């Protein structure tokens, strides 16, 4: 289980990007993190995978634990070896490397050849199009294929928890649906998933639990299905009016005291 406990992150010692966020990714579950631009979603993933330092960021207080071990101070390579692997926002595949080389790059953390061959077969079974295109340069793939390659590359390390940063970004609706199915399938095969998304429809469709992040704080959290029913999520992330849904909303998900104020900023 991955747990984030009251984490504060600042950039350059000044800008507070994440302010006291706590969340949990239980084993075998898909957890969605929703939020608009600047809500702190990517910062949270950087804190988990140890790349904050590359952006002059720092965890000021709080702890990130994975199966009880504090991973807040680990470097990215160590984090990967512990079983936490991130698919970065914007896919960031290696465009000059072939598809197969991209997958090899994803499997660098392990020396076990048999495990790597197994992982590669799994990736090719999950994404048959990658097998067809394995000797093509990554840059020649379409956006959807690049996203699949980015996910496949991360799966090469056989992660226990897969961290996905906006996999739907810039993709056509049909492809976004496929990405959702892939996330569900990966989860069925036993990998926990932390899914950071702006596309709430897809994210809440596959997630068990969900958190809404707003200007660096958790404003709503709860079971994904129930969260999808709430007024705010309906209005802000699912594109419905939600003017009739006030009563059902507050019941199940925990709503923080700050949420009303924060949300009003967006409805104004």
Partner 1 sequence: MTQFLSLLLNGISLGAIYALIALGFVVIFKASEVVSFTQGSLLLLGAYAIARLSDPLGFYLAALVGIAITALAAFVIERLIINRLRGAPVISLAIVTIGVDIILLTELIRRIGSDILNVPHPWGGDSVQIGDVGISENRLIAIIVAGLLIALFFLAFKFSSWGVAMRASAEDGETAALMGIRLGRVSALAWVVAGILTGVAALFLVGSPTPGVSPSAYTVALRAFPAAILGGLDSTGGALVGGLLIGVAESLAAGYQDDLLFLGRGFGDVVPYIVMIAVLLVRPSGLFGTRELTRV
Q: For the sheet containing 69-70, what is the strand order?
A: 15-25, 2-11, 57-66, 69-70
Nearer to partner 1, 29 or 101 (CB): 101
Nearer to partner 1, 7 or 85 (CB): 85
Helix (H) or strand (E) holding 230: none
Is residue 115 a contact partner of residue 104, using CB atoms and an 8 Å limit? no
76 closest CA partner among 67, 89, 85: 85
Residue 101: CB minimum distance to partner 1, A: 5
Residue 134: CB minimum distance to partner 1, A: 14
Residue 168: CB minimum distance to partner 1, A: 19
Residues that bind partner 1 (CB under 8 A): 49, 51, 54, 75-77, 80-81, 85-86, 88, 92, 94-97, 101-102, 104-106, 108-109, 153-154, 156-157
d(CA 86, CA 194): 9
CA angle, residues 57, 75, 153, in degrees to nearest 5: 105
What stretches of the chain adopt beta strand conformation (E)? 2-11, 15-25, 30-34, 57-66, 69-70, 84-87, 161-165, 192-197, 209-214, 217-223, 254-255
Nearer to partner 1, 165 or 217 (CB): 165
Q: Are strands 192-197 and 30-34 parallel, antiparallel or unpaired?
A: parallel
Residue 105: CB minimum distance to partner 1, A: 4
Nearer to partner 1, 157 or 200 (CB): 157
Q: How many C-beta atoms surround the C-beta of residue 148 within 10 A?
A: 26
Nearer to partner 1, 118 or 188 (CB): 118
Residue 104: CB minimum distance to partner 1, A: 5
Residue 170: CB minimum distance to partner 1, A: 17
Nearer to partner 1, 123 or 212 (CB): 123
Residue 191: CB minimum distance to partner 1, A: 16
3-state DSSP: the chain helix, strand, coil percent, rounded to 5? 40, 25, 35
d(CA 229, CA 218): 18
Nearer to partner 1, 70 or 75 (CB): 75
Is residue 74 a contact partner of residue 32, using CB atoms and an 8 Å limit? no
């Amino acid at each position: 289980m991955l747990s984030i406990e009251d984490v504060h992150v600042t950039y350059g010692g000044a800008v507070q990007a994440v302010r006291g966020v706590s969340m949990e990714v239980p084993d075998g579950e898909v957890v969605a993190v929703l939020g608009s631009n600047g809500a702190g979603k990517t910062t949270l993933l950087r804190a988990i995978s140890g790349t904050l330092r590359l952006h002059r960021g720092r965890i000021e207080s709080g702890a990130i634990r994975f199966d009880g071990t504090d991973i807040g101070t680990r470097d990215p390579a160590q984090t990967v070896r512990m079983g936490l692997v991130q698919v970065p926002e914007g896919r960031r595949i290696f465009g000059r490397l072939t598809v197969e080389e991209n997958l090899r790059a994803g499997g660098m953390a392990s020396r076990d050849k048999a495990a790597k061959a197994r992982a590669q077969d799994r990736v090719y079974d999950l994404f048959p199009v990658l097998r067809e295109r394995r000797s093509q340069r990554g840059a020649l793939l379409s956006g959807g294929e690049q996203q699949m390659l980015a996910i496949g590359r991360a799966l090469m390390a056989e992660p226990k928890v897969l961290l996905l940063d906006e996999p739907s970004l810039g993709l056509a609706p049909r492809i976004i649906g496929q990405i959702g199915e892939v996330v569900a399938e990966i989860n069925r095969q036993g990998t926990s998933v932390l899914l950071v998304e702006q596309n709430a429809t897809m994210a809440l469709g596959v997630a068990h639990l969900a958190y809404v992040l707003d200007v660096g704080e958790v404003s709503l959290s709860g079971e994904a299905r129930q969260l999808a029913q709430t007024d705010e999520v309906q209005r802000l992330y699912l594109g419905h009016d939600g003017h009739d849904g006030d009563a059902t909303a507050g019941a199940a998900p925990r709503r923080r005291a700050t949420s009303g104020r924060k949300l009003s900023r967006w409805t104004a």
